[in-house]
Amino acid sequence: MTAKLIDGKNFAAQMKKEISTEITTRREEGHPDPGLAVILVGEDPASHIYVRNKRQACNDVGIQSFYYPLPNETEEKQIVDLIHELNQDPKVNGILLQLPLPSHIDSDGLLELINPDKDVDGFHPYNLGRLAQRRPLLRPCTPYGIMMLLDSIQQHYKNQHAVIVGASNIVGRPMALELLLAGCTVSVCHRFTGDLKHFVSDADILVSATGIPTLIKGDWIKPGATVIDVGIHRLADGSLIGDIEFAVAKEKAAWITPVPGGVGPMTTATLLKNTLIAAKNQMK
C-alpha cells in the first residue's frame, strides 16, 4: 500500500482564505479587524523565523499584529507588566508569548497571566482544563490543527487506538485530550516508555511529536494506519525531516503527513482561526 498524503499546506491555505473572507465581511459590517500581540524575548533564530511567519500570516488575512521584540536580558517584571497592559487593551484580542523563553524567565508563570479569553495558543491551564473536561474554548493550535486534518480525511475515531509519542504540554498532552474527546482509545508514549515499537505497531492513528529524527521506524507502522508527523528536525543541508522514517512508513500507512508541508502550516492557520474566534467571543 502506498499512503495518500495529507496535504496540510493546501488545507491551511484554504483555511486562511476562509478566515480572510470572514474578516472582510466583518469589516464591512463595522467590526474592527482582530488584533494579535506577539511577544518575542531573545535572539533564538528559529523563534525569529516562526514569529516572522506568524506576523506575515496575520497580514495575509487581515489580522492586525502588534509586535513586542525584547532583548534576552529582559527582566520578568517587564514582561509581566506588558502582559497586564495587553490584557486590558481592547485592540488586542489574542496574546502570543513565543516559546522558549530565556532560562531566567518562568514561562509557565507568565502563560498563566494571559487572560484566558486572549490565550490564542490555548496553553493557559484554564483552556487546557476546559479541553480536559470536554468543554473546549481556545484549543492548543498544533493538536487542534491536526484534528482538522484528521476530520478532512474523514478519519474514524471510535474503536480506534490512537498512539501519541511525546507528552509535552504544547503538543503531546493536549493531543491526547483531543483524541480522547473524539472517541479514540488513547496511549501516550514518552522518553520513559520501554517498548515503543509495541505501542506504535498497534496504532490505528499515530501522532509523533518528539523532535528526534526517524525515531519511528517505517516497518513499525500498522498497515492502513493514519500517520501524523509533528517533529521538525533540520539537517546540515538545510532540509527538514520529521520523527518518522517517511519513505518506509508511507508504504504501510493509508494516510501520512509529509515534513515539511503537513502539520507545520496548520499550526499557523489555527493560530489565525483562534484569534478570530477570540475576537468574536470578546464581542459577546
Residue closer to ligand NAD by CB (options 64, 168) is: 168
* Sign of the alpha-carbon dihedral angle for 175, 178, 184, 185: positive
Q: Is residue 237 flagged as an active site residue?
A: no
- Which of the residues 117, 119, 121, 243 is marked catalytic? 121
Min. distance of Cβ 25 from ligand NAD in angstroms? 28
Min. distance of Cβ 166 from ligand NAD in angstroms? 4
- Which of the residues 54, 222, 252, 273 is marked catalytic? 54
Rounded distance, CA 172 to CA 190, Å? Answer: 9
Residue closer to ligand NAD by CB (options 176, 209) is: 209
**Residue partners of 144: CB distance under 8 A and separation at least 6:** 122, 178, 270, 274
Min. distance of Cβ 284 from ligand NAD in angstroms? 29
Min. distance of Cβ 264 from ligand NAD in angstroms? 4
Rounded distance, CA 29 to CA 39, Å? Answer: 30
Residue closer to ligand NAD by CB (options 160, 208) is: 208
CB 56 within 8 A of CB 272: no
Q: Is residue 91 flagged as an active site residue?
A: no
- What grid cell was written down for 158? 471510535
Rounded distance, CA 276 to CA 284, Å? Answer: 13
CB burial of residue 202 (10 Å; 0-12, 13-18, 19+): middle
Residue closer to ligand NAD by CB (options 9, 280) is: 9
Q: Is residue 54 flagged as an active site residue?
A: yes
Residues that bind ligand NAD (CB under 6 A): 142, 165-168, 170-172, 189-191, 193, 196, 209-212, 215, 230-232, 263-264, 267
Catalytic residues: 54, 98, 121
